[in-house]
Chain A
Amino acid sequence: MDRPGPACEARPVSASSVKVLAVDDQRGFLDVIRAVVEATSGFRWAGGATSGADALTEADLNHPDLVLIDVEMPEMNGVEVARRLLTRYPGMLVALISAHRPDELPKAAAESGVGAILPKENLSPAWLRGFWQEHHS
């Protein structure tokens, strides 16, 4: 994947950093998520997947602490991916991200057990920190 520009340079990574896995069928936005993660201190990029199947494989390999999943994906949508991850890893923190507003998403998204449903444009280092702290304070 393309590395982000100088204004989005990655922060130094520590072993106790929160590992973030991103799942989105749009490779361009995976780059954007990676730039946000690497610009957030205390978080590190654990990998990206462009499909639900790849996401489950990556989760088994890398054991991420936090997973950001796009809702609208072909074949297996984000809600189904989240459900399977939470079934397999009940302690994992999962957030659904979408280009649509939360009230435009199906009811299953709100009932999926994820920690948050976030409009994509609101993704930022401040939000990541707040989300993690809210669920691990």
Chain B
Amino acid sequence: MNRRALNALEGVAGSVVLCVIAAMIPLRSDVELHPAASSVAVTVTLAALLGVGLYAWVRKSSQRFGRILFLAGLCWFMASLSHADGELPYSLGRIFGWLFELALVYALLAYPTGRVQDRSGRVVLAAAVALVCVGYLSTVPLVDQYPLPSPFADCGQQCPQNFFSLTAEPDVIGRLIDPLRETISLVVYVGVAWVLATRLVQAGSNLRRTEAPVLAAAVLRFLAAGAYGMLREGHASDDVATTVGIITVLGVSLIALAFLVGLLQWRIYVGGALLRLTTGINSAKDAIDLKYLAADCLDDPSVELFYADPRGQGEEPRWRDSAGDRCAGPVEKPGSLITVKTQPDGSRLAVSCEDGLGNYPRFLDAVCSSLAAGLERQRLDRARIVLLRDVAASRKRLVSAADGARRKLERDLHDGAQQRLVGLRVKLELAREALEEDPAPAPEVVARFGPEVDEIIEEVRALAHGIYPPLLVSGGLVEALRGAALRSPLPVSVEAEGIDRLPSDTESAIYFCGREALQNVAKHAAGASMVTIRLWRDDGIWLEVRDDGAGFETGSTQAGSGITGMRDRLEAQGGWLRVDSRVGEGTRVVGCLPLPD
């Protein structure tokens, strides 16, 4: 069993013990008028306060509130001592009765987060504290008897004296202090009800379901307490006062139950909202869909989303709204709350919603995290589509280039070596027929064919070299590029640092890019007098071909098929290619291929 469950069990066990003790006090009292009824009322109320307090305490989202409510329950337990017949326990019980009222006001104002977040709530709480301290606690040494009748005592005229009395009770207590503090108590109760009502009005429908039961129970209890005070001032009959007193006591249980209902309603709502959110995110196509999804889940039509793509460190984010339009970013408005989520890649999502949701930071965080994940998924989907399109186009170009190379090869063979071999065959037949008639010139005739065969061999050799140079296989990338450099019409220097043999795919991709770049210099680099080829290793294999020709404006010139082919070759193996050039400053072609693991 984990620590949390153990603590909960201890709390339950302790609460049960306290309830048993609280139940026994009225039953064992000699001065209690209705011991059974008092026992039930006190115990039920104590059980409700401690039980709901424990429930809220074990939930992370309402932990702080749970502690406050449990503390109120402990105050209630101590207040139950007022049903005892001894002066000391009775006096303690009466004092804790006032402290309980203060704890109840605190719990109502701090619901559900455990913090009194609005200014008006803090003012009412301060007034309640001042009332209890100044109006009630400070009079303890001055009174012989605590105010009667009381919802916390059912001893009629037999109630014990004040154990803490130090002096005779001055008249001012009865004439002035009592009515004044009763009035201020009513004002405090009205203040609490007003704060709760204001929160209810400002809350969205999702939050009203948690606030409404509490407001209703609080108003009922305060009405009963107020009525009890007036009955006491009016010296109403004991039976009427007792009945209203019991209602006042049970009103506390009602408040505790209202807390429980509110907390349960919230849990049910959160579960449903998160379920709708997580299932709806996959079908959201853009940020606007996400915004409407969030508005639906939060029951808040005022929800707005803002997002910013990742930028460099120190750069200001460029915000867009849910429609994708550039904007200044999320702006705090009265009644709204901004929550910003920053992803590991630096992208941001800001959600603007009603500020009441700020009482539920974990729920809000879960919603924002889901929305951020949804936005990220949309961004990745778009990037994937673009990437797939680029890959398909590149693949098509590569296949087309391969077909084109095959057609060129067929043409070169047909027009070159094949024609010459066919011609040679015909000439051999002619020579055979001629030598049949006159064999004498046979040596000269045969010798004449030698040079023609040599030319055919050279032609086939050059063709083979154009397809795949033998030096690339036998000598490697550096030697093959040096060989290509020797055949270039311009002076070419090849610098290779730390380049040994590499996988054949890598060598062939870099070689053919370098050769194409050399051919481009010869064809297009007007005024070029030299070319430099550099090869080096730096977290990959790098190739640079630089010339001192006329250069060109890269922005206004579309890449030709040669450069596109080079780029496709390198990108097919996870590399890249870039062409840098300026008019009058030559051209630099640089590419890189990652090294295989």
Q: Contact: B448 with A36, CB < 8 Å?
A: no
A32 and B423 form a contact (CB under 8 A): yes
Q: In chain B, what residue has the closest Cβ to A125?
A: B433
Q: Is B422 an interface residue when CB atoms closer than 8 A count as contact?
A: yes
Beta-carbon contact of B445 and A7 below 8 Å = yes
CB pair B427 A6 closer than 8 Å: no
Whether A8 pairs with B427 at a CB distance below 8 angstroms is: yes
B434 and A8 form a contact (CB under 8 A): yes
Q: How far is the CA of A12 from the CA of B430 in the complex (A)?
A: 16
Number of residues on chain A facing chain B (CB within 8 A): 22
Cα-based distance from A9 to B430 in the complex (angstroms): 10
- Known contacts: A6-B441, A7-B445. The answer to whether A39 contacts B430 by CB under 8 A is yes
Give the residues from 409 to 425 in chain B that come closer than 8 angstroms, CB to CB, to chain A.
414-415, 418-423, 425
One of A4, A6, A28, A99 near B444 (C-beta < 8 A)? A6
Q: Counting CB contacts under 8 A, is B431 at the interface?
A: yes
Cβ-defined contact, B434 with A39, below 8 A = yes
Given A26-B419, A121-B422: A35 and B427 interface contact (C-beta under 8 Å): yes
**Complex interface: chain B residues within 8 A of A28 (CB):** 419-420, 423
- Contact partner of A7 (CB less than 8 A), chosen from B414, B419, B422, B431, is B431
B208 to chain A, nearest CB (A): 84
Kindly state the separation between the CA atoms of A73 and B528 in the bound complex, as whole angstroms: 38
B423 touches A124 (CB 8 A): no
B426 x A121 contact (CB < 8 A): yes
Say whether A89 faces chain B, with CB atoms less than 8 Å apart: no
5 example contacts (A-B, Cβ-Cβ < 8 A) are as follows A5-B448, A7-B431, A28-B423, A99-B422, A124-B426
What is the minimal beta-carbon distance from A36 to any residue of chain B, in angstroms? 6
Contact A125 B430 (CB under 8 A): yes
B435 on the A face (CB < 8 A): yes
B419–A29 CB distance below 8 A: yes
A125 contacts across to B, CB distance below 8 A = 430, 433
> How many Å lie between the Cα of A36 and that of B444 in the bound state?
19
> Residue among B426, B431, B445 with the most chain A CB within 10 A?
B426
Q: Does B429 contact A (CB under 8 A)?
A: yes
Cβ distance B396 to chain A, nearest Cβ, rounded Å = 28
Cβ A99 vs Cβ B431 within 8 A: no
B429 contacts A124, CB within 8 Å? yes
| B 537-581 binary contact with A (CB < 8 Å = 1; else 0) | 000000000000000000000000000000000000000000000
Contact A7 B441 (CB under 8 A): yes
A68-90 residues at the B interface, CB under 8 angstroms: 72
Q: What residues on A are CB-neighbors of B427 within 8 Å?
A: 8, 32, 35
Scan residues 368-420 of chain B and give those whose CB is less than 8 A from a CB of chain A.
Answer: 414-415, 418-420
Interface pairs A-B: 6 shortest CB-CB:
A121-B425, A32-B423, A120-B422, A7-B445, A7-B434, A7-B431
Complex interface residues of chain B between 427 and 463 (CB less than 8 A to chain A): 427, 429-431, 433-435, 441, 444-445, 448
**Least CB separation from B446: chain A residue:** A7
Residues of B within 8 A of A5 (CB): 445, 448
- In the complex, the answer to whether B415 meets A26 with C-beta atoms within 8 Å is yes
A72: nearest residue on chain B (CB-CB)? B414
Instruction: Report the minimal beta-carbon distance from B444 to chain A, rounded to whole angstroms.
Output: 7
Within 8 A of B (CB), among A88-135: 99, 120-121, 123-126
Closest to A120 in B: B422
Closest CB in chain B relative to A113 CB, distance in Å = 25
Question: Which one of B419, B430, B435, B448 contacts A99 once the chains associate, using CB atoms below 8 Å?
Answer: B419
Q: A5-B445, A26-B415 are in contact. List 17 more A-B contacts (CB 8 A).
A: A4-B430, A6-B444, A8-B430, A26-B419, A29-B419, A29-B423, A31-B423, A32-B423, A35-B426, A99-B418, A99-B419, A99-B422, A120-B426, A121-B425, A124-B429, A125-B430, A126-B433
- Determine whether the beta carbon of A8 is less than 8 Å from that of B422: no
Residues of B within 8 A of A32 (CB): 423, 426-427
Residues of B with C-beta under 8 A to A26 = 415, 419
Contacts of B433 in A (CB 8 A): 39, 124-126
Decide if A35 touches B420 in the complex (CB within 8 Å): no
Partner of A124, one of B430, B435, B441, B448: B430
Chain B contacts of A8 at CB under 8 A?
Answer: 427, 430-431, 434
Residues from chain B with Cβ under 8 Å of A121 in the complex: 421-422, 425-426
Q: Are B430 and A35 in contact, CB atoms less than 8 angstroms apart?
A: yes
> In the bound complex, do residue A36 and residue B430 qualify as a contact, i.e. CB atoms below 8 Å apart?
yes
